[in-house]
Each structure stands twice: as structure tokens, then as C-alpha cells.
């Protein structure tokens, strides 16, 4: 048996160490360690709850606002605040744009280099690349002359000596793509950078800046119509003609938002999804690698109405033991964390996050660390469990739950899976997770235009309410209040919990999607989602564990979010 150590794992959202026992060319055991502590939960203690979201969203810059939104929702739940419909729509637009951006970026920047020898495109025939691009997608840039220019850019990157993610060759020479296909996906990888800039504009329109938007507000959003609409939902304002003044909600701003949404949809449907499906066809056997726990959890996201239990575009539910037909309800009371194998002090066993503490104490081997073997505590990530079960979260879980609930999204999901000729069970595999992200991006990008249309209709009808801050006066607050929110980050199920006492935050806990997926073992010795998915992964060459890297990157892990 050989101990294989990958540290640091690159192309992830923070310091991550993976150790594997390999025997007979196969992984027999795995340990995943988030190696950095941050302590943002501790910095929130004693703060004004209305300001919590500004600091909480610093959990992650890549997730770009989802932690801020989760924090705002938790405070609103604690104080009994209901937000207006316009605020819900603006929040959906901002969070939806971020989810789509995250999936596209994750594929082209972090996952694609594991599957494609991008530099091989420098030797491709531009005419062959043009013909292939037209056959698999609908990119407006697909002429032979265009690919001739891109081929020159790829060659220049190699000659520069600093090719970055375009470094020659997939580790171990594992790419199955022809040079023409490598040129096509390499061109699209470059296009994704420009596309991301347009998405940053969309997020900045709605958030004021990116990353870390500034327009969230306990009670709604700080965005108001350019003609001076009311702040309070109960306020009155005489309706005035639409102004041509600049701003996200001016006529010019709304037109600009629509244009950016149209561009986002064109890229997802014409470039990103076709590229993923093309790779999935080339690597069809990758749907047999990386099978994990079989337990999938989704909190759901994007409320479609303003009721106490709104319908969600991405539904909430739990699937257990590989059964993708029986959807269980999700109860907040079932969520807990263990720290038996993490670097924290506190109670042994499972603790609900409302009672949780973040008391760091490093228990592991002293640097320089050569192996975690024998270390009882080995990660700064805690071990979340749902009714004592380890769970996988993220796009694969959300898409599987959406398929099982048989709602409107299920039609698109079934069509894509049928086009690939793969069963729904393949969603919980290495490439299945990547396919799930592309399907989800398609679902959400299609809905962005609908949310914007609803917002425009509300404004045209004279509904100018974007926030209710009637509960902002601390004199109206109870002496003590508790709140929580369950939603989704791009990486998976996201929860924030807080306790307010004497108008200040007395306790705060975060469990991110990456906390679930990067979980160390729990007190019963059961592996987390990524650890379990790595067991059984083939490693024919210890010097180039490409299938291990593919499985890790398919989760798009963010250790910074995991340890908060």
C-alpha cells in the first residue's frame, strides 16, 4: 500500500490537502483536510445584526454575495420581517446570475484542464475546428479565421513560458480530444473570460459592486426606482413617469439588464452546455468513477412567491441510499455537526448549529507535515450530518431532487440525460456532477428573464416597494431572538444560524455546501462526501493521479467556505 499526498490541491477555493491510500492501482481510503482557519463567525459576535451580512459575505469572494443573502435572511427570520415582492425578484436575479457565473467559471477555469489538452489546439486545423464547433454548439464565433487567431494565441501562451491553466497536456496524457476539439474548447475557455466580464456588469448593476454586493438590506434591498420610490413597504408615493436617469431600475438600466441576461443565456445554451455534453460523450466511462455516498441533500433556492412556504425553482428535499425516486422532506432540526476529527474544542457528538461554537485548537501533527496518518484530528472543516447521516450537496443533489419531484425543471433534466444516454444515477459520479452544473445553469439562466419581466411589470403597475424596515428600530426587538436560513450556494446546501441578545449578535454559525462535501470523518468514523467519492478511484500512475483530480474538481470545492 502507498500513501499518496496532494498538497496543495490547485484550482480550488483555498488551501486543501488530500491523502490517499492506494493499493493495486485503486484508492482504498481517503482523507480530505481543509488546512486553513479563518474565524469569520467569531468576528460577528457582538455586532449589530443589521450589519452582519456585510461581514458574513466575506466568507467567500467567489460565491459573491450568497453568504450575505443567507445572513440577511437569517436576521429577517429572527425578527419576523417579510420582504416585498420586488426585493425577492432582485435577490433572485443577483443570486441566479452568480450561480450561473460560478458554474461556467468552475468548468472552464477549474475542471476543463483535467479533461482537455488545451495547448494541443495550437496544432489543430482551424477549418476542422470550425466544422466541429458548428456541429456541437451555436457559438457566433465559429469561423475558420476565428480559430486561426485563437490557435495563434494558444501558441503564444506556450511560448511565453507562463501558460497557467493552459499548461501543455492533461496530467498523465489522459485527454481523448482531437487537436480540433482542443482548439474549440480552448477558444471557448478564452471566451468565458470575456463572458464573465459581462456577468460582472450584471451583478454590479444589481449589487453596486462585485464581488461582495452592497445593496442587500435587512428587510429587502437598497435598490429603489430612479424616480424616488418609497423605502418602506407601507409607504405611499405618487406614481411618476419613468425617468431616463441612469440606474439599475431606470428604463435604460432595465434594458441593459435584459441585454446582459440575453447574452448570458446565449453563452450557456450555445457554448457551455454543448461543450459539457461533448466532453461527457467523449468520457462516457467517467460516469462510473467517483460514485459517492448516495445520500443527496438540497435546501432549495429561488422563491417564486411571497408565501411562508414559497414554491422554489430548485426544490428542497433529501434522497437516501441511492434511491432517486423517494424524496424526503428537509427539517432544519435534523442538521448538526461533529468535531471529533476537526481542530476545534467543544462537545463530542453531534451539536445543532444553534448551539454550536467555533473554538479553534490545532490538534494535528506539527509542521512540516508529511502525512496525516495516525492523526485523529486532521481538518479545519467540521463534519455536518443530517439526522446523523453524511450527505452530498451541490448541483448533482439539486438536480436529482428536482428530477425526483417531477416539477417543471424535470422536463429539461430528462431531455439532457436522454441526449447523453445516461441514467439519472450517473449524476452522483465524477462527470455527472459536471453535467448537473451545466443543466442547472441552463435552468436558472432561462428563469432570469422571467424574474426581470415580473419586476418590470410591478414597476409599471406602480408597485415601488423594495424594502420593509419597520422592524429596524431595536426598541421593538425582543430581548432575545434566534433565526436561521436554509438556501443554496453554488457549491451546495448553505445554512446560517444566529442568536440575538440585547440587540447584539450573541452566537453565529455557518454550514456551507463545501463544509458538507469536504467533511472529515464524523465521530463514528464515516467519511465525508468527497472522501467517499475518492475511494475506488483508479490511480494507474502515482505520478499523475488524473482521475483523483477530476473527482476533486468535479465537486468544485471551496475550503474557504468550508471553514468560514
Per-residue pLDDT tens digits for 354-404 = 999 999 999 888 777 788 887 889 999 999 999 999 999 999 999 999 999
pLDDT tens string 244-270: 445 778 888 899 999 999 999 999 999
In our burial notation (b when 16+ CB lie closer than 10 A, e otherwise), range 303-324 reads: bbeeeeeeebbbbbbbbbeeeb
Nearest to 328 by CA among 400, 409, 428, 426: 400
> Using CB atoms within 10 A of its CB, is residue 255 exposed (0-12), middle (13-18) or buried (19+)?
exposed
Mean pLDDT of 499-521: 97
User: What per-residue confidence (pLDDT) applies to 231?
Assistant: 40
How sure is the predictor about 230, in pLDDT bands with cuts at 50, 70 and 90? very low
86: Cα within 13 Å, side-chain hemisphere:
27
* Residue 299: band (very low, low, confident or very high) from pLDDT cuts 50, 70, 90: very high
The fraction of the chain above a pLDDT of 70, given in percent, is 95
Q: Which cell numbers in the block locate residue 562? A: 468550508
Q: What is the pTM of this model?
A: 0.94
Q: What is the pLDDT of residue 239?
A: 46
Stretch 69-91: mean pLDDT:
96
Cα–Cα distance for residue pair 336/338, rounded to 1 Å: 7
C-alpha cell at 256: 441593459
State how far the Cα of 339 lies from the Cα of 200, in Å rounded to an integer: 37
- Residue with the bigger pLDDT between 273 and 246: it is 273
Read off the pLDDT of residues 412-465 as tens digits, 9 standing for 90 and up: 899 888 888 888 999 999 999 999 999 999 999 999 999 999 999 999 999 999
pLDDT tens string 6-50: 999 999 999 999 999 999 999 999 999 999 998 999 999 999 999
Which pLDDT belongs to residue 353?
96
Mean pLDDT of the chain: 91
Q: Model confidence at 407, in pLDDT bands (50, 70, 90)?
A: confident
pLDDT at 238 > cutoff 70: no
What confidence score (pLDDT) does residue 375 get?
87
pLDDT for 235: 41
In contact, 10 and 515? CB cutoff 8 Å: no
Is a pLDDT exceeding 90 seen at residue 184?
yes
pLDDT of 232 higher than 60: no
Dist CA 205 CA 213 (whole Å): 10
Beta-ladder partners of 23? 26
pLDDT over 80 (residue 226)? no
Read off the pLDDT band of 139 (50, 70, 90).
Answer: confident
What secondary structure letter does DSSP report for 342? Answer: B
Q: What is the mean pLDDT of residues 80-92?
A: 96
What CA–CA distance (Å, rounded) separates 467 from 344? 39
Residue with cell 468544485: 556
> 54: which strand partners?
none
pLDDT tier at 229, thresholds 50, 70, 90: very low
Going by pLDDT thresholds of 50, 70 and 90, the confidence category of residue 528 is: very high
Tell me the CB-side half-sphere exposure of residue 141, using CA atoms within 13 A: 19
d(CA 432, CA 324): 14
Three-state SS for 378-402 is CECCCEEEECCECCECCHHHHHHHH
Out of 3-7, 59-63, 105-109, 387-391, least confident range? 59-63
Q: How far apart are CA 279 and CA 281, in angstroms?
A: 5
Mean pLDDT of 485-492: 96
pLDDT tier for residue 227 given thresholds of 50, 70 and 90: low
Residue 248's pLDDT is: 78
Chain centroid, CA 29 distance in Å: 26
Pick from 56-70, 109-123, 127-141, 529-543 the range whose average pLDDT is largest. Answer: 529-543
Amino acid at each position: 500500500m502507498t500513501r499518496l499526498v496532494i498538497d496543495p490541491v490547485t484550482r480550488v477555493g483555498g488551501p486543501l490537502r488530500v491523502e490517499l491510500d492506494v493499493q493495486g492501482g485503486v484508492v482504498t481510503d481517503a482523507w480530505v483536510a481543509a488546512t486553513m482557519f479563518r474565524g469569520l463567525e467569531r468576528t460577528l459576535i457582538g455586532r449589530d445584526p443589521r450589519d452582519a451580512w456585510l461581514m458574513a459575505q466575506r466568507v467567500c469572494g467567489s460565491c459573491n454575495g450568497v453568504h450575505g443573502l443567507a445572513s440577511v435572511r437569517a436576521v429577517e427570520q429572527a425578527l419576523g420581517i417579510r420582504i416585498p415582492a420586488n426585493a425577492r425578484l432582485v435577490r433572485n436575479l443577483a443570486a441566479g446570475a452568480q450561480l450561473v457565473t460560478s458554474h461556467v467559471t468552475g468548468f472552464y477555469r477549474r475542471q476543463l484542464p483535467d479533461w482537455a489538452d488545451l495547448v494541443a489546439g495550437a496544432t489543430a486545423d482551424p477549418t476542422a475546428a470550425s466544422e466541429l464547433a458548428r456541429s456541437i454548439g451555436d457559438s457566433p464565433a465559429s469561423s475558420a479565421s476565428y480559430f486561426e487567431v485563437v490557435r495563434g494565441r494558444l501558441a503564444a501562451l506556450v511560448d511565453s513560458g507562463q501558460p497557467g491553466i493552459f499548461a501543455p497536456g492533461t496530467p498523465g496524457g489522459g485527454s481523448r480530444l482531437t487537436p480540433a476539439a482542443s482548439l474549440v474548447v480552448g477558444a471557448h475557455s478564452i471566451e468565458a473570460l470575456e463572458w464573465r466580464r459581462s456577468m460582472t456588469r450584471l451583478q454590479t448593476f444589481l449589487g453596486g459592486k462585485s464581488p461582495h454586493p452592497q445593496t442587500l438590506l435587512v428587510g429587502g434591498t437598497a435598490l429603489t426606482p430612479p424616480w424616488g420610490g418609497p423605502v418602506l413597504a407601507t409607504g405611499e408615493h405618487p406614481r411618476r413617469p419613468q425617468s431616463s436617469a441612469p440606474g439599475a431600475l431606470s428604463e435604460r438600466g432595465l434594458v441593459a439588464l435584459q441585454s446582459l441576461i440575453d447574452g448570458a443565456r446565449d453563452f450557456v445554451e450555445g457554448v457551455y452546455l454543448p461543450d459539457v455534453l461533448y466532453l461527457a460523450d467523449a468520457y462516457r466511462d467517467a460516469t462510473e468513477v467517483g460514485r459517492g455516498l448516495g445520500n443527496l441533500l438540497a435546501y432549495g433556492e429561488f422563491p417564486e412567491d411571497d408565501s411562508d412556504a414559497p414554491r422554489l425553482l430548485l426544490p428542497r428535499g433529501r434522497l437516501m441510499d441511492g434511491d432517486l425516486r423517494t424524496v424526503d422532506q428537509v427539517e432544519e432540526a435534523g442538521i448538526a455537526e461533529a468535531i471529533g476529527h476537526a481542530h476545534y474544542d467543544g462537545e463530542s457528538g453531534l451539536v445543532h448549529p444553534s448551539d454550536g461554537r467555533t473554538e479553534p485548537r490545532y490538534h494535528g501533527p506539527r509542521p512540516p507535515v508529511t502525512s496525516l496518518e495516525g492523526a485523529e484530528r486532521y481538518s479545519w472543516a467540521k463534519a455536518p450530518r443530517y439526522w446523523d447521516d453524511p450527505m452530498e450537496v451541490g448541483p448533482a443533489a439539486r438536480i436529482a431532487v428536482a428530477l425526483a419531484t417531477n416539477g417543471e425543471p424535470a422536463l429539461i433534466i430528462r431531455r439532457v440525460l436522454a441526449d447523453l444516454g445516461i441514467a439519472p444515477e450517473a449524476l452522483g459520479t465524477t462527470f455527472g456532477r459536471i453535467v448537473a452544473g451545466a443543466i442547472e445553469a441552463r435552468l436558472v439562466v432561462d428563469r432570469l428573464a422571467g424574474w426581470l419581466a415580473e419586476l418590470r411589470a410591478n414597476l409599471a403597475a406602480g408597485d415601488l416597494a423594495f424594502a420593509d424596515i419597520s422592524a429596524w428600530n431595536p426598541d421593538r426587538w425582543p430581548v432575545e431572538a434566534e433565526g436561521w436560513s436554509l438556501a443554496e450556494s453554488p457549491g451546495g446546501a448553505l445554512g446560517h444560524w444566529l442568536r440575538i441578545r440585547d440587540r447584539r449578535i450573541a452566537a453565529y454559525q455557518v454550514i456551507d455546501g463545501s463544509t458538507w462535501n469536504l467533511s472529515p470523518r464524523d465521530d463514528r468514523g464515516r467519511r465525508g462526501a468527497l472522501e467517499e467519492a475518492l475511494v475506488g478511484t483508479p490511480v494507474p500512475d502515482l505520478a499523475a493521479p488524473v482521475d483523483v483530480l477530476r473527482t476533486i474538481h468535479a465537486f468544485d470545492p471551496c475550503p474557504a467556505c468550508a471553514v468560514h
